[in-house]
Structure formats: C-alpha cells, structure tokens
Structure 1
Amino acid sequence: MSAALFTDDFKAAPYWWETGAPADFSKTLLPSEADVVVVGAGYTGLNAALQTARAGLSTLVLDAEAAGWGCSTRNGGQVSTSVKPSLSTLQKRHGSTIARALLEEGQASLDYMHALVRDEQLDCDFRETGRFHGAHLPHLYDTMAAECETGHKVWNTGAYMVPKAEMDRELATDAYHGGMVFPHHCSIDVGKYHPALLNKVVKAGAIVKSHCPVVSLERLASGFRVLTKCGAMKAGKVILATNGYSGPLSPDHQRRIIPIGSYVIATEELDQALVDRLFPTDRILSDTRKLVYYYRLSPDRKRLLFGGRVSLNETDPAKSAIRLHQDMTALFPELKRARISHSWMGFVGYTFDTLAHCGEDKGLFHAMGYCGSGVGMASYLGMRMGRKAAGLETEPSAFEQITFPTRPLYTGNPWFLAPSVLVFRLRDRFGI
C-alpha cells in the first residue's frame, strides 16, 4: 500500500474533531477548594458534574489534556444496552437478582441517553437507527437465530433475523451469512454530543480546567488534598472518571482497568449512489468476531467510519489505517479505491469480567470499565455517581454491588494483550 491510500489532507486525528475539537480550558484559574473535584472531562465526568453542579455543589472538572481529548471524542458513535455477558453467565457469577439488575441497568443506560438528549435539547444527531450484527460464519447465524427465537429474558430487544438471501436490504456484502437486527440501538454524532454536554456543564456553574494533570490524591481528616501540575487544592469529594486513561493516580483502580487501543478510519467522501447501494440503511454495524469490527456511515452519509483491533500491540494510526482499509475492503471490495481521510485510536477501558464498575470509598467515587460500549453506560453511570456524590441518590447501582476484579501481578500494563489477540484471531477463524 502506498501514500496514494491517503487523501492529500489526511489527518491522524478523529474525524469527529472536524465539527467538535476538544476544548481548551487551560487558562481557567485553579480554585483553592471545591465541594467536588471530577478527574476526567469525558462522558463520565461531565454527566457527574452536571448533577453535582445543579445540586448547588461547587464543582471542578480537571483533565490532563483538552476537555474531551480521550475516547469520548474517539469512539464510533454507537449506543446500545452496553452489557456484554449473557443472563446465564451473570447468574452463575452473581445470582439471579443481581444478574437481572445488571441487565436492567443496561437498558436504563439507553433510556437515559434518550432522556438526556430530549430534556437537555442536545443537538447531537441522536437517532434510533438500529444495529445490524453480522454472522461471519454460518453456524454463528444459526446460534443467533436460536437466541432470537427464544427472546431475551430481560430486555425487550425487538430483534429479528435477516437471512443471507435477504442481506441486500441491510448491506451489499457477501462476507456475512445473514445477521440480526436490534432495532432500538442508536447512533450519535460524537463531534456534537461532547461539546453540547460540556456547554451544559459550564452553564450549570461547574468550573472546567484542561491541561491540568492530577498528580496525587491525599486523604485529609475531611476531604482530600488534590495535587495537580497546576497547583494544589482541597476537595470535599473526588470522582474518578478516567476509564481507559486511568493511570497511577489511583493504583487500586489502575490494576483493575485494562487499556486496549481501538482503531478507526474515515474514508474520503464517497459516491452517493455507491453509498446508497452498499448501505441502504443508516444502521450502526458490527459482527460476531471476538476481535469485532464496528462501523457506520458518518451522520451526513458521505463517509464510512470503520473501526476495530488490528494489531497485536499498540501502533501508529497511520500504520493501523492500512490494515483497517484491508479489512474494510474484504467486506466491501467496491471500496478498494476509497482513500482514507482520517485515522485515529483511543484507549478502551476493559475489565476482567467484561462489566462496567462504579462505587465509593469514603468520598472517592469511580465509574469506569465500559468494555467498548461506553457512550451510553459512561453517561449513565457518570450521572449516577454524580447524584450519589450530591446526596441525591442512596439506592446503590447494581454495578456497585459486584466485585471489581483484578489479577495477580497485574499493575496496569496489559502484557498479556498480544497473546490474547492471537487467541481471539484463532477463535474468530473457527467461530468458537
């Protein structure tokens, strides 16, 4: 592959930044104290801050980079019910009551997104487009069909099957052996959602300071001493909202979060007739691979945004773009000549049990570990932790009632990632 694969104005930056670049609040003065300090200005942190600020608590949101620099403006703009394990798996781990509660909160996260966008009048192109989930091997279609016929025991998914003979109504590709449609899953314009939410937080009275890494947290007799590279201050409560960018600030959380790079490309603007034939719907798209592809059209239906995990170790987005383009054209050969205008990556916060987690330890709150489904769940759990910090909610989330696991010798460096990717590639080949 040569440089001809990239447009002349190629950017190793998110496509979403064309309409909503991360905001610079570096000139904000650091206050001497705040009732609540939120570490991280992504979806988790902003939804938390919206609750505490509106409850009348002085709220400071800190970010090591520009506000929204992390995965909140690097994701694929897909919104689902956000819980990966099945009911049976969760029942074996946690019992029937907690298992059902976890899945119910997955639905609640999607419902919250509808309510948030509606009630706050956020201009972010949030739409119920549905998701098409393709079967990359024949027997996986049969497995999905059996699950679809049985129905979900907690969620009212409304899901239905699309056999291979009828694929042209969903996608013009021979790569899938049919698939399942989840009609209630949604898409969102990432470049609009984060800035719109940030604007609401600022209007609510919260102070936002960017380019201000938090160096350490020290417990005091009452509250915390928060040391940043911009100075020190006192906080009554602290909310950790760092997810895939969690570092040594809280070693206890760092050793429970696995940062995994997820890579995305955007094509140049495509011929509209080709777009309409290949993608007759506006659905968000994924498939049955363990190393999943996730993709969608841009909100204006002019480009394809195509993402996935394509390397054993973290790599340069310009290099990952080549592999993603190959994978994209394996699904859609007619896009072989489509050049790449943007390529980027972001760190997903994964967990050992593939579940999100939240909770409190004597005034130190956290919500993180969304496992690649963070738009809705980060927003929802951020809201819940904000309400809890503000004293507005005492009922614990189901995600607070489960153990947040780690592994012996793991301190935050995922040394096992490369062999795990190799195993997943093997499993994808045989569909196991």
Structure 2
Amino acid sequence: MAESSGVLAPGFTTDPYWWDAAPPETAREPLPEQTDVLVVGSGYCGLSAAAELARHGVDVTVVDAEDLGAGASTRSGGMVSSGQKLVIGGAIKGVDAARMGRLLEDSLSSYEHLKTLIREKELDADLGVFGRYFAAHVPRHYDRLRRQGELLAKHTGVTVHEIPKSRQDEITRTDYYHGGIVIDDYGGLHPAKYHRALRRLAAANGAILRSHAPVLKVGPAVDGLHEVETGRGRIKARQVFFGTNGYSDKASGFLHKKVVGVRSYQIATEPLPPVLIAEINTGRRMITDSRKELIYARPSPDGTRILFGSRPGMFTLPEREAAPRLHAMMIKVWPQLAGYRVTHCWSGKVGMTADKIAHMGRQDGIDFAIGCNGNGVALMTYLGHQSALKLLGRQNRSSAFDDPSFPKIPVPFYDGRPWFLPIVSGWYHLQDAIARRAAGL
C-alpha cells in the first residue's frame, strides 16, 4: 500500500510500461545508397508494409527519426478492435450507406488480418480477446450506447450485451458509470512486444531497418528515382511510402496538414492484489467511456496492474506532472485504487483526421497510410499490408480507406502545429463537466 504523501512510486519512470518487456531498438548502420521502396516511419503501418513487400522480394528500407519502436505504436493502450470506432466514434456521419458498409467491412477485415498474422507467424504479442466495456458517463448516454450497439451488431455481426447500472458490478465495481454495453469481439495485446515481433518479421523477410534517420526532404522523381534527404545522408528510392501517422511533419509534404498529432497520456499502477484486480475488472476487458475527453483503462497482459489513459488537462504537460492528475481521474472512477502508486507515466501522439477516418492513397508521387484516430493497432497493420499489396499490384480490390477525398484539417492557419488543441480540449472538459452537473452528479 502507498503512503498518503504521494502517488509516484520509487523508481517512477516516464518510459512506457510496455518498454519494460520490449524496449525500442537502435539500428545506426549506414543507409543503403538506393532502395526500391523507402518506408518512412517504423510503426505498425510501416513495418507491416515492409514485411509484405520484402516477402515478395522487393528491396525495402524502413527509416525512423528515433529508435525503432519509440513512437506511438509502443505507447498505445494496446486495445484491438474492428469497426466499433467508426460507429461509436461518429466517423460514419455524412458517409453514404455504400461506403459505410465498405468501411465497416474493411475494419472487420483488419481485425481478422491481425489475428491471423499473429497466429500464423507465431508472433509474441500477448493477444487476448476478452471484450470491451463502453461505459455511460452520465445516465442519458446509456440509451445512446444501446443504439450504437444495435447499429454495430446489425452492420458488423459483433456480439453486443446491454449492461444496465444494476448489473454493472458484473463488469466493474464502480458507482461512477451508469451502465453501458459490452462488445465481445474486442481484444488487447502488448503493443511493444507486438512491435518487436513485427520488426523481427520484417527483418527476417529481408527488409533493412534503420533508426535515427529523420526524413528531411523528398525530391520529385527524376529518371524514376526520388532523392530523399535524411538526417544521416541521402538515399534514392523508386517509391516512397509514409506511415508516420501522428508524427507527420513538413517533410511529409501535404500530409502534415491533413492529420493532427493529439497527445494522450497513460499511467500504470504498481502491482495490485489479485482480488482488487478482479474487482476493478472482472473479465479482463478493455474499458472506455462516453465522455468527450474519454478515458481508457485495462489490466496489464499479465493481470497484475491497471493501466489508465486520458488527457489530463487542456495543455501539454510533462509526464511527471501528468501522473498525479491521471491518478486523481482514475480514483474518481475507482476509489479503491486510492492507496496505490503510479510506477510509469508516458504519452504518445494519436493521428486524428478531419473526418475521423483513416486514409491511404497516393499524391504527388508519394504513397501513404495515416490517420488511426485512436484505432491503430489492427487498422494500421492492415493498411500497411494493403498499401504493400497495392504497390505490388496484388490487391483483390481497392480498400475502402483508399479514397481521393482526404480533407484538410478545417482550422485557419494550420501548418502541422496544433495550436488549437488546448481550446478543443478545454471545450471537451467543460462539456463533460456540464453533463455531470446537469445529471446531478
């Protein structure tokens, strides 16, 4: 048990909890002079594309600005879903029925692709399918979640259970939420172990992986070759593929104006008694809620800790300052965790698009797949794979996410620096507070 004097445990670190088991990798060997395909970004998307390209004999090189695995892929909550985010996240608003059906179909395919890849390649990823609980932040959200659950079941065939507040203890013992829905077809994995497994798969297939090589400029194709300037020298490539997601910058050309890197924070508790873990999360499910500035929580894959994430305030904070705020948010939901300390607090950037839909495609001679919108583990793995098949000319059909309509962020003077995020975040926090007060909570 912790003392009341503070929430940071001895040895507290701002490295992700996931890195304890699978840290990022340094690969500072020289860059090749030329490659067939240069993949920019060593996240799930880039590694998935590289593994598939290399499997078919393509000379492919992956470069990253930092260590391989230092970005958002190993900083996520490790939650795995299919089409739920498109419905519950509101992405399908304004999308016609035909495309909505194709988006949901491809989203389901992304989930099946991930499970098949992990199974067939025997990837060490700690994947477990235990379901997800979407909790109502205020009573009136319960009916909205029920309707969204009905829509999901209709369009995707997933199994959805309605959980009124009177039965909520079957899922989690808290008085904070007001019932919700459980979706069985939902999982979680260890994001850093999965990333390490993808690195090894790509390298085993023949891909070259290089760290600390930020791309500074991509030149136009001359005689069929792009000259790419990196922080470690120049490399020529027949094709360039960006999978930089929330870490896209000006070097990515048009992409950095179409995606916003929104920083999300997480904490890990110290090891908890098994009886307390069972009380907080009876079935080891993933848990999120219906507020605007949502929270997400899950047990660690070994079942010893609770991992809790959200944005702790309007402004970007150092992780050491964010940790007590996240702890305070966590114990509002689960007061029984008040006596336990935080061992890790970390953050990462989520790639958000204006229409809340991921996009893949080609523009100005550059291929890309970005915009996970908080749903990246399965989807970005799948879009990297689909992008590789497209480059190889092996797609059975084009992906629903491959659409020339890719809106810019509708914010004046947006140049890739999200100056407006504190305003949006503050508005979300205010709306959540008003909703609680209006409900008399």
| Shorter-chain TM-score tier | over 0.9
Structure 1 Cα separation of the partners of residues 314 and 89 of structure 2: 31
**Aligned-residue offset at 1:179:** 1.1
**Structure 2 CA distance for partners of 1:91 and 1:29, relative to 1, 3 Å:** closer
* Residue-by-residue CA offset, 1:308-354 (whole Å, 9 max, x unaligned): 11121211011111110000000111111110100000011111111
**Aligned-residue offset at 1:362:** 5.7
Partner of 1:411: 415
Partner of 2:358: 356
CA contact (8 A) 1:285 1:295 kept: yes
In the superposition, the TM-score normalised over structure 2's length comes to 0.94
Partner SS for 1:366: strand
**Structure 2 CA distance for partners of 1:394 and 1:147, relative to 1, 3 Å:** closer
CA contact (8 A) 2:63 2:214 kept: yes
Partner of 1:70: 71
Q: One-letter code of the match for 1:262?
A: S
CA contact (8 A) 1:87 1:99 kept: no
Structure 2 Cα separation of the partners of residues 13 and 171 of structure 1: 28
Partner of 1:169: 170
Structure 2 Cα separation of the partners of residues 89 and 327 of structure 1: 25
Partner of 2:211: 210
Partner of 1:258: 260
* Residue-by-residue CA offset, 1:117-145 (whole Å, 9 max, x unaligned): 11111121111110011111111112222
Partner SS for 1:400: coil
Structure 2 Cα separation of the partners of residues 88 and 249 of structure 1: 30
Structure 2 Cα separation of the partners of residues 330 and 91 of structure 1: 32
**Structure 2 CA distance for partners of 1:89 and 1:304, relative to 1, 3 Å:** closer
Partner SS for 1:381: helix
Partner of 1:104: 105
Partner of 2:182: 181
Q: One-letter code of the match for 1:80?
A: S
Partner of 1:22: 24
CA contact (8 A) 2:241 2:366 kept: yes
CA contact (8 A) 1:244 1:258 kept: yes
Partner of 2:60: 59
Structure 2, unaligned stretches of length 5 or more?
437-441
Partner of 1:332: 334
Structure 2 Cα separation of the partners of residues 93 and 275 of structure 1: 41
Structure 2 Cα separation of the partners of residues 274 and 395 of structure 1: 48
Partner SS for 2:117: helix
**Structure 2 CA distance for partners of 1:412 and 1:2, relative to 1, 3 Å:** farther
CA contact (8 A) 1:87 1:103 kept: no
**Aligned-residue offset at 1:83:** 5.8
Partner of 1:424: 428
Q: One-letter code of the match for 1:389?
A: L
Structure 2 Cα separation of the partners of residues 226 and 428 of structure 1: 46
Which residue of 276, 281, 299 corresponds with 2:301?
299
Indicate the percent of aligned positions where both proteins have the same amino acid: 36
Partner of 1:316: 318
Partner SS for 1:200: helix
**Aligned-residue offset at 1:413:** 1.2
Structure 1, unaligned stretches of length 5 or more?
none
Q: CA RMSD in A?
A: 1.9
Structure 1 Cα separation of the partners of residues 421 and 203 of structure 2: 39
**Aligned-residue offset at 1:89:** 6.8
Q: Give the total of aligned pairs.
A: 431
Partner SS for 2:11: strand
**Structure 2 CA distance for partners of 1:52 and 1:330, relative to 1, 3 Å:** same
Partner SS for 1:232: strand
CA contact (8 A) 1:90 1:99 kept: no
CA contact (8 A) 2:4 2:339 kept: no
